[in-house]
Amino acid sequence: MTQTNDSKGPYIGIDISKDNLHVAFGSRGTVIEVKNTPEGIAGLLEQLQEARPQLIVMEPTGGYEIPLAAALAAAQLPIAVVNARQIRDFARAKGRLAKTDKIDAAVIAGFGEAFEPEPRPLKDEQTMEIDSLVRRRKQLQENQISENNRLRTALHKRERASLERHIEWLGQELKSVEKELQRLIKDSPIWREADKLLQSVPGVGRVLSMTLLAGLPELGKLGRSAIAALVGVAPFNCDSGKMRGERHIRGGRHDIRRALYSTTRAAVSLRYNSTLAEYYARLRAAGKPDKVAIVACMRKLLVILNAMVRTHSRWSTLP
Are residue 144 and residue 106 in the same domain, yes or no? no
User: What's phi and psi for 125, nearest 5 deg?
Assistant: -60, -40
Residue 140 lies in domain = 125-187
The DSSP bridge pattern shows strands 11-16 and 55-58 to be parallel
pLDDT digits (tens, 9 = 90+) for 85-139: 888 888 888 887 777 889 999 999 999 999 888 887 666 677 778 778 888 888 9
pTM: 0.59
Flag whether pLDDT at 39 surpasses 80: yes
Give the torsion sign (CA, 183, 185, 190, 195): negative
Number of domains comprising the chain: 3
- What pLDDT sits at residue 250? 53
Flag whether pLDDT at 49 surpasses 80: yes
293 vs 131, more confident = 293
In a domain, 69, yes or no: yes
| Amino acid at position 53, single letter | P
Are residue 22 and residue 94 in the same domain, yes or no? yes
In a domain, 43, yes or no: yes
For residues 54-79, give the mean pLDDT. 86
Which of these three, 115, 142, 157, is where a domain ends? 115
Q: Which residues pair with 24 in a beta bridge?
A: 13, 31
Share of the chain above pLDDT 90, in %: 51
Are residue 196 and residue 103 in the same domain, yes or no? no
Which of these three, 94, 115, 136, is where a domain ends? 115
SS3 66: helix
Are residue 193 and residue 251 in the same domain, yes or no? yes
Question: In whole angstroms, what is the distance from residue 35 CA to residue 25 CA?
Answer: 17
Confidence of residue 287 (pLDDT cuts 50, 70, 90): very high
Question: In whole angstroms, what is the distance from residue 17 CA to residue 102 CA?
Answer: 12
What are the distances in angstroms from CA 147 to CA 123, 258, 266, 278?
34, 21, 25, 38
Which of these three, 172, 187, 202, is where a domain ends? 187
Are residue 173 and residue 255 in the same domain, yes or no? no
Confidence of residue 69 (pLDDT cuts 50, 70, 90): confident
